[in-house]
Chains A and B, each alone.
Chain A
């Protein structure tokens, strides 16, 4: 239990002995429904036999859980982290220390009962040869986990002596309970709604037949006007969605802090029942994105997401989240703090894009609505359907206006800032040194409008961030300035005044 990692020593270690209890407990918890079914169905038959079979199952589970502990060993050397498991199928996973991009520490309720933590060591997306993409130590003591985390993320520690002093950390952000007001404006409220709808559907299925038989209630139900029922139902659903989203928010973000540690690591800690700790090396950071989904925008809220390499996949499955739904000003402040820029580049004043871009958006939004409504007019359906579709026109126009207003870009001394989105608004600040290429694209309609879309490609985040529908010459100038020398050899000053990139071929 008190195994201290001796650096450089080739000592293999076991996981925490409490795992002998935790693994079977978790597996039994999962098996509980099965056991219940077996026991209940067994009643009336050979009760003893049923109980014996359950006991046998439990023993097998206990045995395999214990076997797993006895056969698992890990080792952290100055070069790599290794994990060996299995008896029959032996497997050794190995991760080179210099490839480690992330060390995440999670602890679910059962783990926390025994003061254990799961350490997940990630190398990002690419894996070569016998290298593993990630490696999970499930589980070691919480104190041990913290030591492992610090050691693996410390660039100075390559077999050197353990640092006894705790690294000084600066707090960049912490949870404010007033942010709870944003909880109902997030997707989790929708999730809660769906869950509730499902549960109610189930309930009606299960109870429905009996409830109808209760005469008095049935009469009252049929006497009350329909709208009362609908309204009551709607209020109920709304209340539950609100409550559910608030609960989800509290569970996920309890005790949230964002801290910059001495070794150049950003660390996010959060969680009520399951505690999570995500660490992000700052040298992997290429920028920051402030995301404002539609509902959150109404409440003037936003989230901040890290644009970093090695998070694995698109936006790293939420691993890059730096801030819960918070006031927009806070999202920008945290962006600035994370990038060590004041004011935050995400809050810069953006240059608007030409009005032609608005025309493009209006056409794109309204034409499908008009065509659909015309088609429905001719089709053998009631005319009100066509009218209803036509009624969507104002919505389409509003979306187009919103999409145009959200277009913008800026170039600060270190960052390329771009914003776009209809409904969901995203503002990205990308390090100019993190740009590893350019893609300039132009559709036929863009060519006629004299616009281009300029995409900065990067190793981080989505892989590319676009400045959409920018005037051709300005777009090329932005790319040229953002990364001096890269696009320059291929850009000409056009004396003839033709504004599309390949004047000769159009």
Chain B
């Protein structure tokens, strides 16, 4: 082999508002873990010697997660379509790159949770015949997502093949 190979990042980033979306989600997750601990500190006197440092530790880790994860994700989450394939990258600490050829795409779904609606975002899921092959493009701008779905639907209809 000549020079080592590597995957190049897909061409397009997701919407910048996805950072806010992921931050909100992370805040909710951290709050869900932290709330019982804080209540415990106030209610359960005997446990304070070990519960207070524990809560502080969880709070620090949670804050780190809240600050790092959304930005890291934004750098990683990318997508691209060519005439022949859809290519995505996702994750943060652990990352995945997925490729699905147009001829194998079975369905293209859009999903917009309440938070995503609030921030004008959408998640596009591209499924193939494989039980393990779905591509999720999370945190796309709503308009971009609509265009993408339209484009993918048109392309997959034009591409022959039984998708298995």
- Residues of A participating in the B interface, judged by any CB pair closer than 8 Å: 309, 436-444, 446-447, 455, 457-459, 462-464, 472-474, 476-477, 480, 485-487, 489-495, 497-505
Q: How far is the CB of B107 from chain A (nearest CB, A)?
A: 11
Q: Determine whether the beta carbon of A493 is less than 8 Å from that of B8.
A: no
Residue B63 interfacial (CB < 8 Å):
no
Q: Determine whether the beta carbon of A439 is less than 8 Å from that of B4.
A: no
Residue B155 interfacial (CB < 8 Å):
no
> What is the chain B residue whose CB lies nearest that of A124?
B164
Binary interface encoding of chain B residues 53-79 relative to chain A, with 1 for a CB under 8 A from any of its CBs, else 0: 000000000000000000000011000
CB neighbours of A493 from chain B (8 A): 2-5
> What is the chain B residue whose CB lies nearest that of A502?
B9
> What is the chain A residue whose CB lies nearest that of B11?
A490
Task: Say which one of B33-41, B113-121, B129-137 lies at the interface with A.
Answer: B129-137
**With A and B bound together, what is the CA distance between A485 and B103 in angstroms?**
13
Name the residue among A457, A462, A474, A480 with the largest chain B CB count within 10 angstroms: A457
Main secondary structure of the interface of A (DSSP, over half): mixed
**With A and B bound together, what is the CA distance between A431 and B94 in angstroms?**
28
Complex partner residue of A492 from B5, B75, B99, CB under 8 angstroms: B5
CB neighbours of A491 from chain B (8 A): 5-8
Q: Determine whether the beta carbon of A473 is less than 8 Å from that of B95.
A: no
Task: Say which one of B20-28, B80-88, B144-152 lies at the interface with A.
Answer: B80-88
**With A and B bound together, what is the CA distance between A489 and B8 in angstroms?**
9
Q: How far is the CB of A29 from chain B (nearest CB, A)?
A: 39
Q: Determine whether the beta carbon of A437 is less than 8 Å from that of B133.
A: yes
Complex partner residue of B7 from A440, A447, A458, CB under 8 angstroms: A440
Interface size for B (C-beta < 8 A) is: 37
Q: Determine whether the beta carbon of B132 is less than 8 Å from that of A464.
A: yes
**With A and B bound together, what is the CA distance between A480 and B132 in angstroms?**
19
Given contacts A486-B99, A502-B89, A505-B75, whether A436 and B129 have CB atoms under 8 Å apart is yes
Q: How far is the CB of A469 from chain B (nearest CB, A)?
A: 13
- Residues of B participating in the A interface, judged by any CB pair closer than 8 Å: 1-10, 75-76, 80, 82, 84-85, 87, 89, 91, 93-101, 104, 128-133, 163-164
Name the residue among B84, B97, B130 with the largest chain A CB count within 10 angstroms: B130
Q: How far is the CB of A281 from chain B (nearest CB, A)?
A: 12
Q: Determine whether the beta carbon of A477 is less than 8 Å from that of B132.
A: no
Q: Determine whether the beta carbon of A463 is less than 8 Å from that of B132.
A: yes
Given contacts A309-B129, A463-B131, A490-B8, whether A501 and B97 have CB atoms under 8 Å apart is yes
Q: Determine whether the beta carbon of B130 is less than 8 Å from that of A436.
A: yes
Complex partner residue of B95 from A463, A474, A502, A503, CB under 8 angstroms: A502
Complex partner residue of B4 from A309, A442, A494, CB under 8 angstroms: A494
Q: How far is the CB of A389 from chain B (nearest CB, A)?
A: 24
Q: Determine whether the beta carbon of A464 is less than 8 Å from that of B130.
A: yes
Q: Determine whether the beta carbon of B7 is less than 8 Å from that of A473.
A: no
Q: Determine whether the beta carbon of B10 is less than 8 Å from that of A490.
A: yes
> What is the chain B residue whose CB lies nearest that of A485?
B84
**With A and B bound together, what is the CA distance between A489 and B133 in angstroms?**
19
Complex partner residue of B94 from A444, A464, A473, A494, CB under 8 angstroms: A444
CB neighbours of A462 from chain B (8 A): 131-132
Q: How far is the CB of B54 from chain A (nearest CB, A)?
A: 16
Q: How far is the CB of A434 from chain B (nearest CB, A)?
A: 8
Q: How far is the CB of B14 from chain A (nearest CB, A)?
A: 14
A to B CB contacts below 8 Å, 16 in the list: A437-B98, A437-B99, A437-B104, A442-B94, A459-B164, A463-B130, A463-B132, A486-B101, A490-B8, A490-B87, A490-B99, A494-B5, A499-B6, A501-B7, A502-B76, A504-B9
**With A and B bound together, what is the CA distance between A497 and B6 in angstroms?**
10
**With A and B bound together, what is the CA distance between A304 and B17 in angstroms?**
50
Q: How far is the CB of A101 from chain B (nearest CB, A)?
A: 11
Which A-B residue pairs are the 7 nearest by beta carbons? A463-B131, A464-B132, A457-B133, A459-B129, A463-B132, A473-B4, A457-B130
CB neighbours of A444 from chain B (8 A): 93-94
Q: Determine whether the beta carbon of A436 is less than 8 Å from that of B1.
A: no
Q: Determine whether the beta carbon of B132 is less than 8 Å from that of A495.
A: no
Q: Determine whether the beta carbon of A490 is less than 8 Å from that of B95.
A: no
Q: Determine whether the beta carbon of A497 is less than 8 Å from that of B95.
A: no
CB neighbours of A464 from chain B (8 A): 130-133
